[in-house]
């Protein structure tokens, strides 16, 4: 391998976070312990297409809904959580359920239920269409999902009590920004419980992405576009350094991008496997 | 009386608020029911010098501390609350205590204690030297008082749980503004309970002051400079209309101020008696 001309700065926090690592390990063990049996996951176990390709190679089948899964199968409930109503349907079928929900996501679900029990209207700041939010929504009847500052309702909470939580992989700055707008637009609200449920791993990577992007000529965020936390890192990187790119794998125009660049920053989403990061870094070294 | 040339617009909410009315009525009754006995109040019962002058005329004596009050006296604990430690000292002396704390202020004290019991670090947004805050502080050990955005500590609450409350007579907009700065400067805080403890009467008068000040040539806020809610109204008025003045009584240069003015807005603090407002309005009509 030729010696790369570019300075490559790799973030401290790369590869799987604890929750993703645990989900993948349990899935691999489940596959190994059930040879010849149908092992399904309800949608992707984690949001990384390369890692999912590997699990599929080990025999995992991905189902879109519980309906199509044959009785007697093993069903893995993914890391980002499953709506309570779907778990009820799955439990009613002759399936062996293996829940690999990230413990942090599970704790946010408990916070959600607790806020409801204390009479708070729950406001979730996150992406309405993301699996985690769909799962959370199910445990907070009547909750409101807010994706951006423009969606903040005015006067809705007058004199009421509200509880605000965040998608675990939300950008921390955006979360607090939207909270500020909620308070400003609803000055008569009586009580607000704000739970900063952005996970520590996400928050840490976000800080690192911000610092790293400011130091380098080119910033690469390795992960899938379906991964919310990866997209956040790319957004944060781009807000500091216009030359920031999301890289799914060591292919496409990656070689062209890195060519002639003097300094490259590398970070990954929490669902990006280490071996993929190494492959991408190998490709960078070959071409930079 | 000559017909005034100026249009005088009087706010809907003027005169005593419920809490002040109750405090003054109980004080007057206590004085009437205890002829010949020493009746003291611990500092002013309410923050209006003219109203206090009237109560003094009925026999009320104002003490600076419990120490100087002779045994056997009646002691009125004022509307804006009394520190727990002072109540303990007073209770230990042979005094008859009459507590006229505003029910809303008393409920904020309960909120304060509840936040402490739930392990929250209490942050009070208000004036450190105001009697209400001194009383509140005493029921929230280790609390922090913040008067303005510059005083917001950075990183102090990292990963902690905090509860934010407001002085009951604080400007609602300033309260929410400071809350926003706290969140911005402490992005890692885990849980924030915000209790909007600005009292409804104060909030209502603030809204009215803002609207009225925008409509008139001259804005007059009747009340004492020692009254926090009166000062807030004057501040809010001045932020909209530079020609806003705090008027203590129908004297001084009031006649000069109103002379030749075409429209005058009048509002009062929550501790300003109606008879004083009528006297001021009389003076305006005579001179405008």
Pick from A188, A193, A196: which is nearest to B189 by CB? A196
Min Cα–Cα distance to chain A from B177, Å: 8
Examine residue A1 and state whether it is found in any structural domain, yes or no: no
Examine residue A194 and state whether it is found in any structural domain, yes or no: yes
Examine residue B1 and state whether it is found in any structural domain, yes or no: no
Q: Span A73-89, mean pLDDT?
A: 95
Chain B residue numbers with beta carbons less than 8 Å from the beta carbon of A179 are 183
Asked if residue A190 has pLDDT above 90, the reply is: no
Mutate to test the interface with B, among A149, A171, A187 (most CBs of B within 10 A): A187
Q: Tell me whether A196 touches chain B (CB under 8 Å).
A: yes
The pLDDT assigned to A69 comes to 96
Same domain, A110 and A161: yes
The pLDDT assigned to A154 comes to 81
Min Cα–Cα distance to chain B from A177, Å: 8
3-state secondary structure chain B: CCCCCCEEEECCCCCCCHHHHHHHHHHHHHHHHCCCCCEEEECCCCCCHHHHHHHHHCCCEEECCHHHCCCCCEEEECCCCCCHHHHHHHHHCCCEEEECCCHHHHHHHHHHHHHHHCCCEEEEECCCCCHHHHHHHCCCCCCEEECCHHHCCCCCCCCCEEEEEECCCCCHHHHHHHHHHHHHHCCCCCEEEEECCCCHHHHHHHHHHHHHHHHCCEEEEECCCCCHHHHHHHHHHHHHCCCEEEECCCCCCHHHHHCCCCEEEEEECCCCCHHHHHHHHHHHHHHC
Chain B residue numbers with beta carbons less than 8 Å from the beta carbon of A193 are 191-194
Same domain, A109 and A171: yes
Token pair 């004022």: residue:
B78
Q: Does B172 sit within 8 Å of A187, measured CB to CB?
A: yes
Pick from A184, A187, A195: which is nearest to B191 by CB? A195
Min Cα–Cα distance to chain A from B167, Å: 14
> Given B127, B132, B208, B248, which residue is catalytic?
B132
Same domain, B68 and B110: no
Q: Span B65-92, mean pLDDT?
A: 94
Average pLDDT value over all residues in chain B: 93
Domain stops at, among B101, B117, B151: B101
Examine residue A92 and state whether it is found in any structural domain, yes or no: yes
What is the span of the domain harbouring residue A90? Answer: 18-100
Chain B, window 146-175: residues with a beta carbon less than 8 angstroms from a chain A beta carbon: 172-173
Pick from A179, A190, A196: which is nearest to B190 by CB? A196
Q: Give the angle A198-A158-B194 at the CA atoms, nearest 5°.
A: 45
Same domain, B115 and B96: no
Chain B residue numbers with beta carbons less than 8 Å from the beta carbon of A184 are 176, 180
Asked if residue A118 has pLDDT above 70, the reply is: yes
CATH number of the domain at A46, please. 3.40.50.11270
| Interface confidence (ipTM) of the complex | 0.71
Same domain, B179 and B207: no
Q: What percent of chain B has pLDDT over 70?
A: 97
Q: How many domains are there within chain A? A: 3
Q: Does A203 sit within 8 Å of B194, measured CB to CB?
A: no
The pLDDT assigned to A4 comes to 63
Examine residue A2 and state whether it is found in any structural domain, yes or no: no
Domain stops at, among A100, A128, A160: A100
The pLDDT assigned to A3 comes to 59
Examine residue B2 and state whether it is found in any structural domain, yes or no: no
The pLDDT assigned to A156 comes to 64
Q: Span A174-201, mean pLDDT?
A: 88
Pick from A173, A183, A196: which is nearest to B191 by CB? A196
d(CA B107, CA A218): 56
Same domain, B124 and B147: yes
Examine residue A144 and state whether it is found in any structural domain, yes or no: yes
Q: Span A55-74, mean pLDDT?
A: 95
**Digit-coded pLDDT (tens) for B163-218:** 999 999 999 889 988 998 888 888 777 889 999 999 999 999 999 999 999 999 99
Same domain, A187 and A255: no
Q: Span B219-225, mean pLDDT?
A: 96
The pLDDT assigned to B185 comes to 85
Same domain, A89 and A113: no
The pLDDT assigned to A172 comes to 87
Same domain, A67 and A123: no
Same domain, B223 and B147: no
**Digit-coded pLDDT (tens) for A142-179:** 899 999 999 998 876 665 789 999 999 999 889 988 99
The pLDDT assigned to B156 comes to 64
Asked if residue B51 has pLDDT above 90, the reply is: yes
Q: Tell me whether B72 touches chain A (CB under 8 Å).
A: no
- What residue of A is the nearest CA neighbor of B184? A176
Asked if residue A76 has pLDDT above 90, the reply is: yes
Average pLDDT value over all residues in chain A: 92
Min Cα–Cα distance to chain B from A78, Å: 25
Same domain, B189 and B120: yes
d(CA B59, CA A242): 75
**Digit-coded pLDDT (tens) for A249-287:** 998 889 999 998 999 999 999 999 999 999 999 999 998
Chain B residue numbers with beta carbons less than 8 Å from the beta carbon of A196 are 187-192
Same domain, A92 and A116: no
Asked if residue A2 has pLDDT above 60, the reply is: no
Examine residue A61 and state whether it is found in any structural domain, yes or no: yes
Pick from A172, A183, A191: which is nearest to B176 by CB? A183
Q: Span B226-242, mean pLDDT?
A: 95
Among A217-221, B161-165, B217-221, the minimum mean pLDDT is found in B161-165
Domain stops at, among B156, B176, B198: B198
Chain B, window 118-137: residues with a beta carbon less than 8 angstroms from a chain A beta carbon: none
Asked if residue A120 has pLDDT above 60, the reply is: yes
CATH number of the domain at A179, please. 3.40.1010.20
Pair of tokens at residue A84: 């309570």
């Amino acid at each position: 391998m030729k010696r790369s001309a570019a300075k490559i700065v790799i973030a401290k926090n790369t590869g799987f976070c604890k929750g993703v690592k645990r989900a993948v390990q349990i899935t691999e063990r489940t596959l190994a312990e059930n040879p010849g049996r149908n092992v399904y996951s309800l949608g992707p176990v984690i949001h990384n297409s390369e890692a999912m390709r590997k699990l599929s190679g080990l025999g995992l089948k991905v189902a879109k809904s519980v309906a199509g899964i044959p009785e007697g199968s093993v069903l893995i409930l993914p890391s980002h959580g499953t709506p309570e109503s779907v778990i009820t349907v799955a439990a009613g079928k002759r399936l062996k359920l293996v829940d690999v929900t990230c413990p942090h996501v599970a704790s946010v679900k408990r916070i959600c239920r607790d806020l409801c029990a204390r009479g708070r209207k729950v406001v979730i700041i996150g992406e309405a269409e993301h699996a985690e939010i769909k799962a959370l929504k199910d445990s907070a009847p009547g909750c409101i999902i807010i994706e951006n500052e423009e969606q903040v309702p005015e006067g809705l909470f007058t004199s009421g009590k509200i509880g605000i939580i965040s998608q675990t992989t939300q950008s921390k700055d955006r979360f607090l920004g939207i909270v500020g707008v909620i308070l400003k637009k609803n000055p008569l609200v009586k009580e607000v419980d704000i739970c900063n449920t952005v996970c520590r791993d996400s928050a840490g990577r976000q800080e690192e992405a911000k610092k790293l992007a400011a130091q380098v000529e080119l910033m690469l965020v390795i992960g899938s576009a379906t991964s919310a936390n990866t997209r956040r890192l790319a957004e944060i990187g781009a807000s500091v350094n216009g030359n920031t790119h999301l890289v799914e794998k060591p292919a496409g125009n990656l070689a062209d991008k890195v060519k002639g660049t003097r300094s490259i920053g590398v970070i990954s989403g929490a669902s990006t496997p280490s071996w993929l990061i190494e492959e991408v870094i190998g490709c960078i070294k070959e071409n930079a």
